[in-house]
Amino acid sequence: MTLHDQRIVLLGGTSGIGLATARLAAEHGATVIVASSNPSSVERALAELPATADGTTVDLTDPAAVEAFFAGLDPFDHLVYTAGEALTLLELRSLDLARARQAFELRYFGALGAIHAAVPKIRSGGSVVLTSGTAADRSGPGWAVAASICGAADSLVRALALELAPIRVNAVKPGIVRTPLWPDGFDYEAAAEALPVGRIGEPEDIAEAYVFLMNQHYATGSIVTVGGGNVLV
């Protein structure tokens, strides 16, 4: 399968998993448009992507800015949402509700608002691919907020797969991945030893799942777990 001559909008596609997905989609023949709230991140991403790529700065927590962004785009085939802030673990005993709401604002409401604005521009046969996380299935102390966001994303995929049909709506559910969003000092080596695959995921591993879902025209309401077996141990 190929993404040749297809246009893909990647929100959060300027670093980590999003940028790896943009690179892989471009290798498959797609024209990619990346967006982020950080101008320097957009600039760095465009330096790594083919000359056909485009990029812009947009605050994904600002509904008016998101609406204006999509209003200015020509029709496209796929929306990919990978935007997120650095992972913050919040224990209940010291819970900061403002920080918890802020996490939901970008990862959940940002995605919901983007889909609302994007749907009129998605061409026939197109899709939406969101980002969940294995914390929804295997959590721990301090993960209540992060796990809740992932669970909300899972439910959103299933609901919108029906509401937006025939547009396909799916999600990728990464496990531990070596990206800047994980906390400084996180012990990747110890985590790798506990995984059945014996290593930590790289952004390129996860990117393959996003491209698969864009190409797989019989998949909707699907959530693809790519976690090295972390939900099993």
Please report, as a single letter, which amino acid is at residue 82: T
First to last CA, the chain: 34
Distance CA 55, CA 224 (A): 27
Known active-site residue 36: no
- Residue 45's Cβ-count burial label (10 Å; 0-12, 13-18, 19+) is buried
At residue 218, the 3 state secondary structure works out as: coil
Distance between CA atoms of residues 70 and 59, nearest Å: 12
Contacts (Cβ under 8 Å, ≥6 apart) of 43: 55
From the number of C-beta atoms within 10 Å of its C-beta (0-12, 13-18, 19+), residue 101 rates as exposed
Catalytic residue among 132, 139, 148, 155: 132
Active site members: 132
